[in-house]
Structure 1
């Protein structure tokens, strides 16, 4: 029963994590690249240190801060924004990772960058 509730919670976090938000100005005058955590609909692992999350037609790279067990074998992921609904490039969040048959594990990630359209198509 606990696993079913946790799985639903992890999926809820994952689904709720990404979509472009209205542009916010940075000190340099450039628009910040942000997504809503609630709109993340899928992910793809990029090795042991990063993961790509997809929200609509946008995709963002999340890079681990330190060690993150099983990020390259994750079957499910969730994103905890640490107090807010959006994630912007440079922000940190908790990634909830669950591998096949394993228990969920949390690790810290940083939103590294938004992928370009060409990079998204190449995935």
Structure 2
């Protein structure tokens, strides 16, 4: 019984996500959703922390994404590696606007887990404007 309820709710969420949206004027015409920029966890080549609430990921050699860190991540500045885990389950695909968790293994302390939001993919000009210490 519980399985069929969960499957029904999952189908309802899936169908609702596919529903067309209307223009703000209410004309009934369908408007395309803004294209979200996405990447897979296995495409991440490097990372650097920016300010206390920023993390930058280099993805597939030529793309850089900005992530916003919610709360302090103690060892992010000194981390040699980290993990990225989707909030939505077992997915390894991350898109702008998504929430995820960064797992930072501690050297002498416990592992730190921080919540992050994928903000945007940086343009070339935004990347060039970053201080050298923040560039992945």
Which interval holds the TM-score relative to the shorter structure? 0.5 to 0.7
- Which of 46, 52, 58 is residue 56 of structure 2 equivalent to? 52
CA contact (8 A) 1:48 1:70 kept: no
Tell me by how many angstroms 1:116 deviates.
0.5
- Which of 53, 62, 70 is residue 65 of structure 1 equivalent to? 70
1:75 aligns with 2:80: yes
Of Structure 1 and Structure 2, the greater helix share is in 2
Q: Matches of 2:117 and 2:48 in 1, distance apart?
A: 16
Q: Decide which moves more: 113-122 or 97-106.
A: 97-106
Q: 1:120 is paired with a residue of what secondary structure? A: helix
Of Structure 1 and Structure 2, the greater strand share is in 1
Larger radius of gyration between Structure 1 and Structure 2: 2
Question: With structure 1 as the length reference, what TM-score do the two structures score?
Answer: 0.67
CA contact (8 A) 2:86 2:100 kept: yes
Question: Matched residue pairs, number?
Answer: 98
CA contact (8 A) 2:74 2:112 kept: yes
Assess, with a 3 A threshold, how the Cα gap between structure 1 residues 113 and 59 changes in structure 2: closer, same or farther.
same
Q: 1:54 is paired with a residue of what secondary structure? A: strand
Tell me by how many angstroms 1:28 deviates.
4.7
1:89 corresponds to = 96
CA contact (8 A) 2:85 2:92 kept: no
Tell me by how many angstroms 1:45 deviates.
1.0
Deviation string 1:58-84 (CA, Å, 9 cap, x unpaired) is: 111111122322223323221112321
1:40 aligns with 2:81: no
**Cα RMSD between the aligned structures?**
2.2
